[in-house]
Amino acid sequence: DTGVSQNPRHKITKRGQNVTFRCDPISEHNRLYWYRQTLGQGPEFLTYFQNEAQLEKSRLLSDRFSAERPKGSFSTLEIQRTEQGDSAMYLCASSLITTGQGAIVVYEQYFGPGTRLTVT
């Protein structure tokens, strides 16, 4: 098991350009999450998938952001018309989730190394 991988590790782009990031989760995990982390802050939730279905999006995720997880395997996060405020570390994580009586069983999330985006 090679863990969660993300590509690219660094991306520098000019304002207004589109960027796409890729995340490859741990293969047996059914949940995939995207977070954003800015300097000095904790990661903030953006969106998550269970298999190929996107089940929740944060209000942080403007309409310039879109995420996909075709076939329930890898995921992509695209940012259109980037703005300087989009500069951050974008983190992907995967985990197992199972459903019990009235609650979900939440297992630990394993994080990738992140993609650092710089918008100039």
Partner 1 sequence: AQKVTQAQTEISVVEKEDVTLDCVYETRDTTYYLFWYKQPPSGELVFLIRRNSFDEQNEISGRYSWNFQKSTSSFNFTITASQVVDSAVYFCALSEASLLYNQGGKLIFGQGTELSVKP
Q: How far apart are CA 85 and CA 94, in angstroms?
A: 26
The binder of partner 1 chosen from 32, 79, 91, 119 (CB under 8 A) = 91
Nearer to partner 1, 42 or 70 (CB): 42
Instruction: Assign residue 81 a region (left: φ > 0; alpha: ψ between -120 and 50; beta: otherwise).
Output: left
Q: Binder to partner 1 among 21, 33, 65, 90 (CB under 8 A)? A: 33
* Distances in whole angstroms, Cα of residue 37 to Cα of each of 45, 61, 86: 9, 13, 10
Nearer to partner 1, 41 or 73 (CB): 41
Q: Least CB distance from residue 81 to partner 1, whole Å?
A: 26
DSSP character at residue 120: -
Contact footprint for partner 1 (CB under 8 A): 31, 33, 35, 40-45, 48, 50, 55-56, 89, 91, 93, 95, 97, 99, 102-114
